[in-house]
Amino acid sequence: MSTRKLRPVSYASVAGATEVARGTVVRNLARLTVLLLCLGGCATHSQKAASVREAFYAGDTGTARAALAELTSQRSHDRDVLLLDKAVVDLFLGQPRTAQRLLRDVRDRFDYFEQLDLREQILSIVTDDRSVAYPGEDYEKVLIRVMLAFADLVDDGDDVLAYALQAIQKQQELTETPLPGMSENLRKSYKQVAVAAYLYAVLREATYTDYDDAERWYTRVAAWAPQFSRVRLDLERARKGVFARPGNGVVYVFVFADRGPYKVESVEAPTTVSLAIASALITALGDYSVPPTIAPVKVPKVVAPPRRLDRVDVAVPGRATGHCETLTDINRMAVEQFEAIRPWVVARAVARRIVKKAAVVGVKDALGARDPVAQLALDLAGVAWEAAERADTRCWSLLPGRIDATRLELPAGEHPITLQAVGVDGRLGPPIRQSVQVAPGKATFVLGYFPSLRPVGRVLVSEPY
């Protein structure tokens, strides 16, 4: 019986094989590091939306719409917020029904995405929050319904009251609902949105039969928007039960003024220090090194652009003059709401970073990677994994900075109305003239978007209600 001779194995050959295997691990980890860094370098939403904002605010609605059409044709996690921007562009291009359809679709998806998806939550820990379906910021969820009310207002007006009530109810619902995983309700400090209540009050008053209801809602507007001084006149009129004098009609002018909020990526410095301490503690308690805290903790931040407009003046030659006052300061609302929930946003980022550090230590333990080179390779991969994180800067980019309004009572007939923006430095924009049909005992609504001294797109006028 023959026996197979075995080749003797020397310690040198074992060491050589180990060295080859170690080299393979290092090379694969290096490739992973490069891949993660490349993924981290992908364009954020704020970068993609910048050109759209620039074109829109410059009045180039055609370029803005074309860019949005290209971006929304792609399957991406920021498609919904791009569709919201497209709805704004469509609205001020005179297509309110198209805008309503887009707004309704995104509103419904945002409501659905409020339900947590376990698979997505796990994926967000492995990557970052950009991998989760975007449910909208709280202020965006409310303002979708406000924008729906305005889009319907300049269309057929059948659902304005419903949309205004939806906005009020959504704000109330959010204020009463804690964020996932939080025992303390960080949303309880949210302020109510006065513009929705004002729209509701105006339309109730215009029925000539619901003055009591109108008075209740005007009272709420006075409490929610004390800077809107003309609501005192609205309250007085509702109490007297006189919407307009015989033979007159009313024109309500609403202005989307200034440039609205957007998100940028920011670094949470205190958290980065805390993570360094956490890394030291984990290292002290275990046998393996923890990836060093080199990559900063990145979180989104809501930014309010500087105010450009003081007001928009409204005049009817030989008849009436006035100026729009602020009903809802969207920039302030967005910043205050986001700052209220910032501890929750930061906590998610911190938890994700700790999980990643613990995962690297777990891999070392599973592989028994006590060799300094292997540990270094895993640490490099861990650093790259953390560096690939980006803040979730998805947001509705084309919101206005605030919503202003005024009221003019005019004799029935056709009237030329002039809108003129006044800058914070006193400069005047060009006078924008718009013909408005006033019907006796009816309300007509005018809507314009002034991100600067000049309006964007068309000034929209409703049929008399």
pLDDT of residue 37: 47
On whether residue 6 sits in a domain, the answer given is no
Residue 462's pLDDT is 96
The residues that bridge with 438 in the sheet, in sequence order, are 413
pLDDT of residue 206: 93
Q: Which domain holds residue 61?
A: 30-461
Cα distances from 185 to residues 136, 181, 190, 343, 400, in angstroms, run 18, 10, 11, 11, 28
Q: Does residue 178 belong to any structural domain of this protein? A: yes
Q: Are 165 and 200 spatial neighbours (Cβ–Cβ below 8 Å)? A: yes
Domain count, the chain: 1
Residue 395 lies in a domain: yes
Write down the pLDDT at residue 411: 96
**Whole-model pTM?**
0.83
Amino acid at 181: G
Q: Answer yes or no: is 393 within a domain.
A: yes
* pLDDT per residue as tens, the chain (465 positions): 444 343 343 333 433 433 444 444 444 444 544 444 444 445 567 777 888 999 999 999 999 999 999 999 887 889 999 999 999 999 999 999 999 999 999 999 999 988 876 666 666 666 666 778 899 999 999 999 999 999 999 998 899 999 999 999 999 999 999 988 788 899 999 999 999 999 999 999 999 989 999 999 999 999 999 999 999 999 999 999 999 999 999 999 999 999 999 999 888 765 555 456 545 544 554 555 555 555 677 889 999 999 999 999 999 998 878 999 999 999 999 999 999 998 888 877 877 777 776 666 666 666 666 667 666 666 666 666 666 778 889 999 999 999 999 999 999 999 999 999 999 999 999 999 999 999 999 999 999 999 999 999 999 999 998
Q: Is 4 inside any structural domain?
A: no
The predicted structure's pLDDT at residue 353:
74
**Residue 299 is assigned to a structural domain of this protein:** yes
Quote the pLDDT of residue 375.
62
Residue 24 lies in a domain: no
Domain assignment of residue 18, yes or no? no
